[in-house]
């Protein structure tokens, strides 16, 4: 151990016969001098037992820089999850650190009852990234709070109550956003708030309809047949009719809808992508029933999907309300609700106060994030590196046909679905997924897990990652899958087939 820093020639791989070596390394700047690991773990498990950390031996992270993280023992990890899709421009980016330091040394806090220039400067900069009609910005503290406020605005504006969302979605952990969420693993066993309807998730891999050309992804799944004719997407039509039918039987004949909310690509649900024209059809229907359309860009925004700054643009739609968080502050707690002047006017019916929304430090950080994305061309990098990574990962479907069922996504928002049977698409049991997940971590790569059955690897790294990082990630995942296959052979379990 070197005083003042760690330097490794390779990433240590505990419990693995061969070390996985990355060709490029960063060096941690300081030795960990914090509280003992066992004390931290005990405190965490007793103070917040409902917030369980990943892994059998949870990581105690000590330092981060760009796409790299170090734990308390100095082990280096390639972060391919970005703190749940939050660290968009890289850990401890010097421009963001400088902006936060400069602002907090001058004015750390005020509320909307006073004015400060950072609020004005940031909001003006953010609005330039959005359609002109979306000209009112309410700054909040999280994605949950953003969606909660969006629901309030929609109900006030329309006079209706019903919020429509998709099965398999996640929109937050408050009472209202949990009611909108349609994933059992993310819901507590209490009576949900009234006024929420969940419609069929238009899943082209597991759903009733859909094929290889339905999704807006650079990789196609050759085993998923497509019934589309020309530019007409049959799957989009069928899923839309299911949604229309659900509403018909859930509301009075003349009943209005308050809002429809959807993530542009589902996040915690496992990088779910819809048929290309589905959201446009739903938006038209919702507006015909007097409702507003909310685009949840909490995970998909800020250039992550590559082609556009906002993923809703990929669907050729224009929302009435957009909600933002996560990447908006690169890890700094902030969020936003953006809408039109006409719609926002309804909030004047009562006094509204947000103590921390629009905090001067948050605004300085948010402004720096926008600068870095543009200066370092991170949206472009998301498309280039993300497409490269998706294409590399798509080979897993051929090499491991009864382990990897699907690879999907766009830009640096990627899902890898694990199965045990390619014909039935039976989800891999969670215990087995966690074994592979643990091996990937032990080889120095951090990813996430999602999906209804917890069988989908979520890969959503800081947008500064390189093709070299992408190749290393694929190499590690392949080694982990090989190890899983070897364990199955040793246990005489028939869970895979030889690739054709």
Is the pLDDT at 29 greater than 90? The verdict is no
Q: What is the pLDDT of residue 14?
A: 42
CB atoms within 10 A of CB 97: 12
pLDDT of 243: 97
Q: What is the dihedral of CA 212, 216, 217, 223, to 10 degrees?
A: -10
Q: Quick one: 124 exposed, middle or buried, by C-beta within 10 A (0-12, 13-18, 19+)?
A: exposed
Domain 96-375 belongs to what topology?
3.40.640
* Secondary structure of residue 74 in the 3-state scheme: coil
CB 197 within 8 A of CB 162: yes
**What mean pLDDT is reported for the chain?**
91
CA nearest neighbour of 331 among 140, 142, 152: 142
Domain pair 37-79+378-490 / 96-375, same fold: no
pLDDT band at 1 (very low <50, low <70, confident <90, very high): very low
Quick one: CATH architecture of 37-79+378-490? Alpha-Beta Complex (3.90)
State pLDDT tens for residues 486-500: 998 888 765 544 333
pLDDT digit string, tens, across residues 254-295: 789 999 999 999 999 999 999 999 999 999 999 999 999 999
Q: What residues form DSSP beta bridges with 232?
A: 229
Q: Report helix angle 117-127 to 360-375, nearest 10.
A: 40
Query: What average pLDDT does the segment 400-412 reach?
Result: 96
Domain boundaries, the chain: 37-79+378-490, 96-375
Q: How confident is the model at residue 4 (pLDDT cuts 50, 70, 90)?
A: very low
- Least confident stretch, 69-83, 240-254, 458-472, 473-487: 240-254
pLDDT > 90? residue 223: no
Half-sphere exposure of 256 (CA within 13 A, CB side): 14
d(CA 13, CA 21): 9
Of 215-229, 238-252, 266-280, 384-398, give the lowest mean pLDDT range: 215-229
Stretch 424-434: mean pLDDT = 96
CB 410 within 8 A of CB 217: yes
Q: What is the DSSP letter of 327?
A: G
Quick: pLDDT tens for 308-348. Answer: 999 999 999 999 999 999 999 999 999 999 999 999 999 99
Residue with the bigger pLDDT between 464 and 47: it is 464
pLDDT at 170 over 70: yes
Cα maximum dimension of the chain? 73
Question: Phi-psi category of 451—alpha, beta or left, where left has phi over 0 and alpha has psi -120 to 50?
Answer: left
């Amino acid at each position: 151990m070197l005083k003042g820093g760690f330097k490794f020639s390779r990433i240590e791989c505990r419990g693995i016969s061969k070390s996985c070596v990355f060709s490029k390394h960063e060096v941690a700047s300081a030795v960990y001098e914090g509280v003992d690991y066992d004390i931290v773990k005990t405190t965490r498990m007793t103070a917040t037992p409902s917030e369980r950390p990943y892994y059998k031996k949870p990581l105690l992270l000590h330092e981060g820089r760009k796409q790299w993280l170090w734990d308390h023992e100095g082990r280096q990890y390639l972060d391919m999850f970005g703190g749940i899709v939050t660290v968009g421009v890289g850990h401890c980016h010097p421009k963001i650190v400088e902006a936060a330091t400069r602002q907090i040394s001058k004015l750390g806090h005020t509320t909307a009852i006073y004015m400060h220039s950072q609020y004005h400067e940031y909001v003006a900069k953010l609005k330039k990234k959005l359609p002109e009609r979306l000209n009112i910005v309410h700054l909040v503290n999280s994605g949950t709070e953003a969606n909660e406020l969006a629901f309030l605005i929609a109900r006030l504006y329309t006079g209706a109550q019903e919020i429509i969302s998709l099965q398999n979605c996640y929109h937050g952990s408050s009472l209202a956003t949990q009611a909108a969420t349609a994933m059992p693993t993310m819901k507590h066993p209490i009576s949900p708030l009234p006024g929420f309807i969940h419609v069929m998730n238009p899943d082209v891999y597991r759903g009733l309809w859909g094929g290889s050309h339905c999704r807006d992804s650079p990789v196609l799944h050759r085993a998923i047949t497509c019934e589309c004719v020309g530019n007409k997407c049959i799957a989009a039509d069928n899923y839309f009719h299911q949604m229309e039918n659900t509403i018909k039987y859930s509301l009075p004949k003349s009943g209005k809808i308050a809002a429809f909310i959807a993530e542009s690509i589902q996040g915690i649900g496992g990088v779910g992508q819809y048929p290309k024209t589905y959201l446009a059809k739903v938006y038209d229907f919702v507006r015909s029933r007097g409702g507003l359309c909310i685009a949840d860009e909490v995970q998909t925004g800020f250039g992550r999907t590559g082609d556009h700054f906002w993923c809703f643009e990929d669907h050729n739609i224009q929302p009435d309300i957009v909600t933002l968080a996560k990447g908006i502050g690169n890890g700094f707690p902030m969020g936003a609700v953006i809408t039109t002047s006409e719609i926002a006017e309804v909030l004047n019916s009562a006094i509204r106060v947000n103590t921390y929304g629009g905090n001067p430090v948050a605004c300085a950080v948010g402004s720096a994030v926008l600068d870095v994305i543009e200066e370092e061309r991170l949206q472009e990098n998301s498309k280039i590196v993300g497409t490269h990574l998706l294409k590399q990962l798509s080979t897993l479907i051929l090499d491991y046909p009864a382990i990897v069922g699907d690879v999907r996504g766009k830009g640096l928002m990627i899902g890898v679905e694990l199965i045990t049977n390619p014909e039935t698409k039976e989800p891999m049991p969670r215990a087995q997924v966690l074994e592979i997940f643990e091996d990937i971590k032990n080889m120095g790569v951090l990813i996430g897990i999602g999906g209804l059955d917890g069988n989908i690897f979520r890969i959503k790294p800081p947008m500064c990652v390189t093709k070299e990082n992408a190749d290393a990630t694929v190499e590690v995942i392949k080694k982990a899958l090989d190890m899983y296959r070897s364990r199955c052979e040793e246990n005489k379990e028939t869970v895979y087939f030889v690739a054709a």
